[in-house]
Structures are given as C-alpha cells and as structure tokens.
Amino acid sequence: MLRITERLNRLSSKQHEDDRRGVSDTKVIESLAGFIKKLLNTRVNTVSMDVGFGIPEIDLSSGLVDEDDRRALLGLIEKLIKTYDKRVKSIAGSLTEVNNIIVVMAFRLQIETREGLNFRLNGRLRADNTFEVESK
C-alpha cells in the first residue's frame, strides 16, 4: 500500500492502469524505503505536528564507538519505523560490516508488511549525520 500522498499524486498522473491492477511490490518497497529515509533524516522537534517524529541528533564527535551504541541506535530505528509506518507488521535489524570511511554505521532491515510482503532494506549512517536507505 502506498502512502496517501503517493496515491493522490498517482490520480493526477497517467498511471491509472496501475491503480486498477494494484500496486506492484517494487513500488511499495520504494515507498517504504523513501519514507524510512525521510524519517531517519528528520530530527526530533523539527516537525510541529509531531515533535517526536524523527531521530534525535546523533553526536558523532564522541562517535558510535562500540557495538552497544550501534545496537541501541538500531533498536531506536526499528522502534521509530514501527511507530510511524503502519504498513510495517514486523521488522528485524542487524548490523553489517562498514567498509567505507565516510560511513559510521551500516545495517540491514528485514521487513514484513501487513499485506505479507517480505523484503530487505540496506541502510547507512554517514559521517555527515545523514542516513541512506536503499532496497538493493
């Protein structure tokens, strides 16, 4: 299922045929990945309608030095996604190896939607304090 704004945008486009046949799994995965990226790149207290939306500022000067810090951040990411995207039925995150000096933390999210779609997203926290999320 697409977010309401995505469905409204589709109504004004030439993609009406897709709406009649249903939304492809790829579009749902892209929608979820895009929303999660927006969620993780939004900081707490910056959205006036919901001051809890987003992730707290991460102080990278002290770093995510040990694995416990990275696991705690991954747990927060999982909790935020389950709270703010009702399409997600279950989520399990795992830390992955970092092999790039501009990446502070890398992770994989295994997601199951309420419609039964299962897929993985790969995420990275970069040294500039921004998140990347992709489905490949």
As given in the structure block, the two tokens for residue 99 are 């092999």
**Predicted model pTM:** 0.81
**What is the band of 57 on the pLDDT scale with cuts at 50, 70, 90?**
confident
Residue 118 β-bridge partners? 112
**Domain range summary for the chain, segments of one domain joined by +:** 4-134
Burial call 116-131: b when 16+ CB within 10 Å, e when fewer: eeebebebbbeeeeeb
Considering the chain, what percentage of its residues have pLDDT values greater than 70?
87
Please state, rounded to an integer, the average pLDDT across all residues of the chain. 87
Q: Is the pLDDT of residue 11 over 50?
A: yes
Rounded mean pLDDT, 25-47:
93
- Identify the CATH class of 4-134: alpha beta
Burial class (CB in 10 A: 0-12, 13-18, 19+), 12: exposed
Q: Is the pLDDT of residue 20 over 50?
A: no
CA-CA distance, 70 to 73, in Å (whole number)?
Answer: 5
